[in-house]
Amino acid sequence: MRIFHLTACLLLSLSLTLRAEVKPASKSIRESMESFVKEGSLSGAVTLFSHDGKILSEEAVGLRDIASKSPMTKDSLFWIASMTKPMTALAVMMLQDEGKLSIDDPVMKHLPEFKGQMLLKEKTKDQTVLIKPARPITIKDLLTHTSGLVSNSPLDANALDVLTLKEAVITYALSPLQFEPGSKWSYCNPGINTLGRIIEVVSGQDYAKFMESRLFHPLGMHDTTFWPNPKQLARLATSYQPSADGKGLEPTTIRYLTAPYSNKKRSPLAAGGLFSTAADLLKFYTMVLNGGEAGGKRYISEKSLQQMTTNQTGDLKASFTEGMGMGLGFHIVRQPTGVTAMLSPGTFGHGGAHGTQGWIDPVTKSIYILLIQRAGLKNGDASPMRQAFQEAATANLPKP
């Protein structure tokens, strides 16, 4: 907790100055979300806003499923997609704390299939030129999306539901690097899936079992799973996209995942396979905000958590909105602007493919959770839903 308190003190005055310039929200959180339902942009939403360990707002609006007219409820289940990534990253850091790996380790130290991986220098119609990279990729490169791994392997599109995590990662190792490791930021699902495989090799447990036994079960996250059971699926929010005629919403499949969702033959995707609820996510984020502790149990050291939640990519252009940097598994607000204008410098979090968002402001000790299932957004991290929610939530913060 000492490191987080020091960081908070250093950032507090700057944060208050920046947030003072943000125009106060004219609507409550509930009103803000209901406006998107009324205009047909969302079927429904669950929001949760916590400050200093207390829930200030928890809302469920609209419908979980339009066809059946099932109402959205606070315990509705959502595919949280890439919000899985920080949880995978935290598991890696737990193993570093135990001395079983270092984030500076070359990936090939733990996964020999990456030995001799080449870099794509040039590709034309007539030839492909491969060269040896200046250095091999490291675990830190995977955590920061700076590895140069392919964005998708040739087998991902049709086979991730049948390949094991081990088999999928082999396809990444066999593909040439797209740029020199550490030279640029490029969002990379294969990189995070590779971290899942490293967890398996280093811990001696299947990736999903490690996550369940070391994080989800101890934290009481009983609705967080790669394979929802029938009772959980009864609470699953349907995912929607704008209809072809532009006059409403139509159901859409959940990207990368295939029904039946309870089928454990489908590989647990470390980059985006989890389903969860607002209440479960609050438990995880509260542990992180509390410096890595919850219920008298320490999950991660302060040092490792500090690495995760501070910028690790220097001046590289990173993330999906302006003013951002990249930690280890978490995106970091370096300079609040636009959709992050109401947040403090140093706020960290992650979004998901269908608009879900989870952010932690260590200065104001606030947690923002937005759960929607909306495909087709131009940029989920810059969605009007996220901005409206954060503006309305921030307006509820106690005055300094």
Mean pLDDT of 269-298: 97
Give the pLDDT band (50/70/90) at residue 153.
low
Residue 17: pLDDT over 60: no
Mean pLDDT of 312-327: 97
pTM of the predicted model as reported, rounded to 2 decimal places: 0.92
Residue 249: pLDDT over 90: yes
- With vertex at residue 388, the alpha carbon angle to CA 375 and CA 359, rounded to the nearest 5 degrees, is 75
Mean pLDDT of 258-273: 88
Mean pLDDT of 294-307: 98
- 48-77 pLDDT, tens digit per residue, is 999 999 999 999 999 999 999 999 999 999
- 189-228 pLDDT, tens digit per residue, is 999 999 999 999 999 999 999 999 999 999 999 999 999 9
Give the pLDDT band (50/70/90) at residue 266.
confident
DSSP H helical segments within the chain, as ranges?
2-20, 29-38, 84-97, 139-144, 156-159, 165-174, 189-203, 207-211, 217-219, 230-233, 278-289, 302-308, 384-394
Give the pLDDT band (50/70/90) at residue 22.
very low
* CB-based contact 207:165 (threshold 8 Å): yes
Give the pLDDT band (50/70/90) at residue 333.
very high
Q: Give me the DSSP letters along 279-328.
A: HHHHHHHHHHHTTSEETTEE-S-HHHHHHHTS--STTS--SSSTTEEE-S
Residue 391: pLDDT over 70: yes
Domains of the chain: 2-84+209-394 (3.40.710.10), 91-205 (3.40.710.10)
The residue type at 60: A
Average pLDDT taken over every residue of the chain: 92
Residue 235: pLDDT over 90: yes
Residue 3: pLDDT over 50: no
Round to the nearest angstrom and report the end-to-end CA distance of the chain: 21
Q: Which is higher by pLDDT, 96 or 154?
A: 96
- 91-148 pLDDT, tens digit per residue, is 999 999 999 999 999 999 999 999 999 999 988 888 889 999 999 999 999 999 999 9
Residue 5 exposed, middle or buried by CB count within 10 Å (0-12, 13-18, 19+) = exposed
Residue 8: pLDDT over 70: no
Give the pLDDT band (50/70/90) at residue 25.
low
Mean pLDDT of 369-385: 97
Residue 356: pLDDT over 70: yes
Instruction: Identify the pLDDT of residue 16.
Output: 44
